[in-house]
Amino acid sequence: MERRIDVRDQVSQLIEQIDARQDELVALVKQLVRFPTPSPPARNTGEAQEFFAGQLRDLGFDIDQWEVFPNDPNVVGTLKGKQSSDYRSLIVNGHMDVAEAEPNEEGWEKDPFTPSVKDGRLYGRGTADMKGGLAGALFAIKLLRESGVELPGDLIFQSVIGEEVGEAGTLECCEKGYTADAAVVVDTSELNIQGQGGVITGWVTVKSPKTYHDAVRRNMVHAGGGLHAASAIEKMVKIIQGLKELEQHWAVTKSYPGFPAGMNTINPAVIEGGRHAAFVADECRLWITVHFYPDENHEDIAKEVENHLLNVAQGDPWLRDHPPVFEWGGKSMIEDKGEIFPSLDIDPDGKEVHSLKRAHSSIFKENPTVSMSPTVTDGGWLGDAGIPTLIYGPGDLQNAHHTNESVSVQELIEFTKVMVTFIHEWCHTKREDERYDL
Ligand SMILES: [Zn+2]
C-alpha cells in the first residue's frame, strides 16, 4: 500500500514539472521544426536525426543509427530496463519528415520552418504532424530520467524517416528485429487512441504488343479493317469503369466499425499513355490508390482487384488476349512510385489499450475516444510485425499537411503528461499482470 502511494507521488511530481517547465517543451518542438525536413524532396533529415540521437544519448539510450537513404537516417534508441525479462517493454515511434511546404505558393503567413506561438497555438510545418508528438514523448522521457526513475522494462524510441512518402523507415526497424510488448505511434490523433485502415498503391498497365501508325486506326476500328488491334488508352477506359464498379461493390458490401461506409475507395490517381499524335496509343498506365479495412490485408486486396480486372478483360475481345498487368506497392513514392501502409486493428480489451486509457483519464478525468484514423501512419508496420500498436498523439488532421499548420500548446502539455504516466506504468508492470506491481 505504502509503495503504491510512492508511485502516485512520483507521477504527480512529474506532472507538476511538466506545467512548470512547459517553456522547455515548446522550445524543444520549435527546435525540431527549425530543421527543414520536408518530404518530398526528402534526403534532408540528417541534421535533425543527429540532434535527436544526441538527446536520446544524453538520457542514457544506446543509439543505433543507419542510413535508409542518403542523408535520411533512422535513429533507434534503446534504454535497457533493470528487469527486462519480467517487465513490459515499449516502443515509441515517430517520423522526423514532414509534408512539403511551399511558403509563397501556399500562402503561409510566416516561414513554415520558423516556429512561433500565437494565441496558445504553436505554428510551423510539422507541429501537428508530428514533431509535437516526437518532442512531447522525448520530453516525457527526459523528465522520467532526470527524476531518477529506473524503468524495469525496456524503452525503445524510434525516430524514423520517410513516412510522408511511404518509405521504409519503420519497416526497416521491424526488419532489424526491434520488437516490444507494445508500441505507440505518437502521430496526429487529437489524443484519440486509434487504429487505421490500410493503403496500397499499384500500377495497372494495358499494352499492345505492336505499335501502329495513326493511319492504321481505320483497320482496327472499322468494318472490314481486318486488324485485331486496339488503342491502349481506349481499353484503359474499360479498366477504369471496372475499378469504379468494384469500388461501388465494396462500398455496398464491406464495412468496419469506426469507419463511415465507403472509406474503402479505389482512386484512379494518375494516368499516362500514348507516345505521339501520329501513333495509336500502344501503352497506357494507371496509378491507383486502394484503401482497405483493418480486417483486410494488402496482398488479398491486390488479388481482389486483379481478379476483378482480369474478369473485365475476359469480356473484351482484345483485352482477353492482352490482359492488363499489375505492379503493386513499393518502398517509396519518390524512388519507385509506390507505397504500402498495412492496416492496424486494435483490441479494445488489450492491456496496452487499458493502460493508455488509464493514463489518459488520469489527466483528463474522462476516457479517451478509441476510434479509427481516417488516414494512415507507420502503425501498420509495427502491427504487421506482431506488436500490439496504438496511434496516440497531439494535433489534428485539419492541420497536418495544411498551410499555417499548428498545434495547441495545451494539448502538447496534456499529451506529455499522459505519456509520462503511461510509460511509467507500462514499463513498471510485469508482463502477466494487468497493471503496476511495485
Ligand atoms: Zn504523420
Rounded Cα distance between 157 and 316, Å, is: 54
Residue 1 has pLDDT above 50, yes or no: no
In the prediction, which pLDDT does 399 show? Answer: 85
Q: Are 42 and 162 in contact (CB under 8 A)?
A: yes
3-state secondary structure of 306: helix
Q: Calculate how far, in angstroms, residue 137's C-alpha sits from the geometric centre of ligand 1.
A: 15
Distance between Cα 40 and ligand 1 center (Å): 14
If you measure from the C-alpha of residue 349 to the centroid of ligand 1, how many angstroms do you get, rounded to a whole number?
A: 26
306 belongs to the catalytic site: no
pLDDT for residue 333: 92
- How many whole angstroms separate alpha carbon 163 and alpha carbon 316? 40
pLDDT digits (tens, 9 = 90+) for 393-416: 999 998 888 899 999 999 999 999
Would you state the cell numbers that stand for residue 188, as one nine-digit string? 496526429
Find the mean pLDDT for residues 61-78: 98
For the cut 50, the answer to whether the pLDDT of residue 309 exceeds it is yes
| pLDDT score recorded for residue 195 | 97
Q: What are the pLDDT digits (tens) for 234-251?
A: 999 999 999 999 999 999
Q: State which fold the 2-197+344-426 domain adopts.
A: Aminopeptidase (3.40.630)
Ligand 1 midpoint to CA 177 (Å): 23
For the chain, give every domain's residue range.
2-197+344-426, 198-340
Average pLDDT for 255-269: 95
CA of 108 to the centre of ligand 1 (A): 20
CATH number of this structure's domain 198-340: 3.30.70.360
Active-site hit among 97, 129, 167, 181: 97
Q: Is 247 a catalytic site residue?
A: no
The active-site residue, picked from 72, 129, 154, 163, is 163
Ligand 1 centre to CA of 159 (Å) is: 12
Buried b (16+ CB within 10 A) or exposed e, 376-396: bbbbbbbbbbebbbbbbbbbb
pLDDT at 437 over 60: no
Cα–ligand 1 centroid distance for 264 (angstroms): 20
